[in-house]
Amino acid sequence: MIDRLRSIWLAIWDFVVGDDWQLAAGVVIALGLTAIVAGTGAVAWWITPAVIAVLLLTSVWRAAGPR
């Protein structure tokens, strides 16, 4: 039973985190920040898409490597 739970956990971890833990952490931070700002009553819909765009750009920049 423990081995089965461990394999399920590892599959979920691999699906969510994948090859880049920094992107996964950035998405979690973006969602948390959006929730905090929305909790204050401010308009917060734009935070997650903006952070995701920045994360995408930095990920591509890192993958491209030095020229």
For the stretch 19-38, what's the b/e string if a residue is b when 16 or more beta carbons lie within 10 angstroms of its beta carbon?
Answer: eeeebeebeeebeeebeeee
What pLDDT, on the 0 to 100 scale, is given for residue 21?
Answer: 86
Task: Note whether residue 62 is domain-resident.
Answer: yes
Q: Is 4 part of a structural domain of the chain?
A: no
Q: How far apart are CA 52 and CA 5, in angstroms?
A: 31
Query: Which residues have CB under 8 Å from 26's CB, separation 6+?
Result: 51, 52, 55
> Residue 66's pLDDT is what?
79
CA angle 6/7/9 to nearest 5° reads 65
Residue 45 has pLDDT above 90, yes or no: yes
Q: Stretch 54-65: mean pLDDT, rounded?
A: 91
Q: Residues, the chain, total?
A: 67
Number of domain units in the chain: 1
Domain membership of residue 40 (yes or no) is yes
User: Do the domain assignments include residue 1?
Assistant: no
Residue 29 lies in a domain: yes
Q: Which domain holds residue 34?
A: 19-67
Per-residue pLDDT of 3-39, as tens digits, reads 999 999 999 888 888 878 888 899 999 999 999 999 9
